[in-house]
Amino acid sequence: MNSRNLKAQEFEAHPLTSFNTSFISQFDISPLEDFWFKGADDTNVHGFLMKPPAFDPAKKYPVVLCIHGGPQGMFSDRFLTGGFIHTMLTAPGYVAVFINPRGSQGFGELFMNQVSRDYGNRSYIDLMKGMDYVIATYPFIDKDKQAAIGASFGGYMVDWIMGHTDRFKCLVSHAGLFNLTSFYGTTEEVWFPAWDMGNTPWDESELYDKWSPCKFVKNFKTPTLVTQGEIDFRVNLSESLQLFTALQRQKIPSRLVVFPDEGHVISKHQNIVRWWKEIQRWFKLHLSN
């Protein structure tokens, strides 16, 4: 039989393994729920929402916005073993939101490329409109207890958020791009800034200044946890040090945690435990009241 003549309904998916079924059954893991909303330029933007364990629809829950890196990355419905694991954000009793803003993969070339030379614009608008949509749509979210967390480009966006809104009770920035000019001069992968900014800092100095969070320090107000690996060659430690200095000099509640034996991603088991403890302590401190 010619396989081209087979109809889709004649195929059924069957799991080949079930190694973790009994282990996972011991935990209350909520599924990721899709949602769509209108972002910048009235474009359709995708996101996920995850509820906390023992979810009670009659209660109000703090909400944590998680921002992926890249920016050419993508949140998807899959089991994560590193980075911002879905369930680690919801486990303390929070609703977590995972939005795929402009620059994300998986939604067409135009959607992905629209982040280039536009770093803090459409992506930022997509994220804020996504949070507005979530708060208006899900009555169990406490709009007065919002937090945001991100790494790499996600960390950049957290740094950008500091200078452009005070809607969040607290923030977590991991390996975030703070000064795009110094980032260009210290990263081991110059393709990213050259593509995202369209050129070098000496050819496009105004554009680098326009989208650098460091230019908006005087607007910073939000308590922020800053984390970084000391041997990070993608985003140099100096980016986080500049951010922390700016926060401290303005007496904004802040904490710096540096892992001397980690690179761009926190990957060693004991360090992962410490990292998540730091994150959850920070959220508890600022979202409990």
Distance CA 240, CA 219 (A): 18
Q: List the catalytic residue out of 68, 104, 123, 152.
A: 152
The residue type at 48? F
Cα distances (angstroms) measured from residue 12 to each of 2, 4, 19: 18, 16, 21
Which structure tokens are listed for 209?
Answer: 């200044």
The verdict on whether 152 is a catalytic residue reads yes
DSSP-assigned beta bridge partners for residue 173: 150, 226
The verdict on whether 28 is a catalytic residue reads no
Q: List the catalytic residue out of 68, 86, 264, 286.
A: 264
Distance CA 149, CA 91 (A): 15
Q: Tokens 């991603």, residue? A: 265
Are the beta carbons of 257 and 278 closer than 8 angstroms?
yes
DSSP-H helix ranges across the chain: 21-24, 86-90, 109-113, 122-137, 153-162, 180-186, 191-197, 205-210, 237-249, 269-287
Q: List the catalytic residue out of 126, 159, 196, 232.
A: 232
Compute CA 161 distance to the chain's CA centroid, rounded to the nearest angstrom.
Answer: 12
The verdict on whether 56 is a catalytic residue reads no
How many Cβ atoms are within 10 Å of 66's Cβ, its own excluded? 23
- CA gyration radius for the chain? 20
Please list the active-site residues: 152, 232, 264
